């Protein structure tokens, strides 16, 4: 299912009235970097949505470093920037689609499937000589009606209750060293949820072209252990550090036709916030 579009595709359609372009550039550790980059230069007509201010709820005791936003609050924000239920939405970032995929997932979670991620990202767009601007976009408020797709997401309790369930496969999307417990630069504990396999989200990207996604055949080969598990009847739950970098893996599996993949939204940072949750290290 083609949820990735090329920059050429967007260039040909960027002024169509139902198309909304969203810039999701962000940089962990430098929260204002994405907003500053947007102010300096962006695709004409694009609006900016921030990972932490718009696409996450405030951090609490549990829920992870980027908790899911309240659906009504997010829907109101989408309406404020002009997104309606009839909008076609193209999202981009400059980080291989990691943050763009978060908005792709959130929109589908709210019941809006007409959303795409632009391949290769903003730098590729700019280097191709395509138009950019520093002008503030005109935002005509609209109304976004949502219907939450509850079966797209699971919580900590669901994961914990199913640790020994052979019909469920957990997929950890983080760097192998973090998964194995060899290092942990962000969260308080190192390791992974017991039973999870490791499938780094960056492996969905093409080694030869910066920030470009692999094609369907390459993805099919890359994600074979996961797709084979689904084909055998297993349920797949994907997680990462905070529910963001898992989204490219969910999107990649969606492209292969696996719409039923679930996201553990709180992910590792939520898992370790509960005393007594087991932690595994090394390979599974």
Domains of the chain: 4-127 (3.40.250.10), 150-271 (3.40.250.10)
Quick one: pLDDT at residue 7? 98
Beta bridge partners of 133: 42
Output the pLDDT for position 149: 98
User: Which of 24, 149, 240, 247 is flagged as catalytic?
Assistant: 240
> Which tokens is 168 given?
């469920």
Contact between 6 and 119 (Cβ < 8 Å): yes
Q: Which residues contact 108 (CB under 8 A, 6 or more apart)?
A: 115, 149, 152
What pLDDT sits at residue 110?
Answer: 98
Report the relative pairing of strands 4-5 and 115-118 from DSSP bridges.
Answer: parallel
Q: Which two tokens stand for residue 146?
A: 């949502």
* Per-residue buried b or exposed e for 104-131, using 16+ beta carbons within 10 Å of the residue's own CB: bbbbbbbebeebbbbbbbbebbbeeebe
**What pLDDT does 30 receive?**
93
Q: Which stretches within 41-85 are classed as H helix?
A: 71-80
Q: Which helix (H) or strand (E) holds 104?
A: helix 98-109
**For this structure, is 247 an active site residue?**
no
Residues 212/100/254/235 CA torsion (nearest 10 deg): 120
Q: What is the pLDDT of residues 65-106, one digit of tens each?
A: 999 999 999 999 999 999 999 999 999 999 999 999 999 999
Using CA atoms, how far apart are residues 108 and 101, in angstroms rounded to an integer? Answer: 11
Closest CA to 159 of 239, 67, 227: 239
Indicate the SS3 state at residue 267. Answer: helix
pLDDT at 264: 98
Q: Which residues contact 28 (CB under 8 A, 6 or more apart)?
A: 186
Residues of the chain with pLDDT under 70: none
Predicted local distance difference test score (pLDDT) of residue 73:
98
Cα 6-19-76 angle, rounded to 5 deg: 120
CA 176 to centroid of chain Cα atoms? 19
DSSP code per residue over 158-213:
HHHHTTT-TTEEEEE-S-HHHHHTS--SSSSS-SB-TT-EE--GGGGB-SSSTTPB
pLDDT at 148: 98
pLDDT in tens, 104-146: 999 999 999 999 999 999 999 999 999 999 998 888 999 999 9
């Amino acid at each position: 299912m083609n949820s990735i579009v090329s920059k050429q595709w967007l260039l040909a359609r960027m002024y169509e009235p139902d198309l909304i372009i969203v810039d999701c550039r962000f940089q962990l550790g430098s929260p204002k970097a994405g907003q500053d980059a947007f102010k300096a230069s962006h695709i004409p007509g694009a609006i900016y949505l921030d990972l932490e201010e718009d696409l996450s709820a405030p951090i609490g005791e549990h829920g992870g470093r980027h908790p899911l936003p309240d659906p009504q609050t997010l829907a109101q924000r989408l309406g404020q920037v002009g997104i309606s239920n009839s909008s076609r939405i193209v999202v981009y970032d400059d980080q291989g689609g990691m943050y763009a995929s978060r908005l792709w997932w959130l929109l589908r979670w709210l019941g809006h499937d007409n959303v795409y991620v632009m391949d290769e990202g903003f730098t590729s767009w700019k280097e191709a000589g395509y138009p950019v601007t520093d002008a503030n976009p005109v935002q005509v408020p609209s109304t976004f009606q949502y219907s939450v797709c509850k079966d797209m997401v699971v919580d900590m309790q669901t994961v914990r209750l199913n640790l020994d369930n052979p019909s469920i496969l957990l997929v950890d999307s983080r760097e192998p060293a973090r998964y194995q417990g060899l290092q942990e630069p962000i969260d308080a504990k190192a390791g992974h949820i017991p039973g999870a396999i490791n499938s780094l989200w960056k492996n969905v990207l093409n080694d030869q072209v910066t920030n470009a996604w692999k094609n369907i055949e390459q993805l099919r080969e890359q994600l074979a252990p996961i797709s084979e598990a689904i084909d055998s009847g297993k349920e797949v739950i994907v997680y990462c550090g905070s529910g963001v970098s898992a989204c490219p893996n969910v999107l990649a599996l969606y492209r292969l036709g696996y719409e039923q993949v679930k996201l553990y939204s709180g992910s590792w940072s939520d898992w370790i916030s509960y005393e007594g949750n087991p932690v595994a290290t090394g390979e599974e």
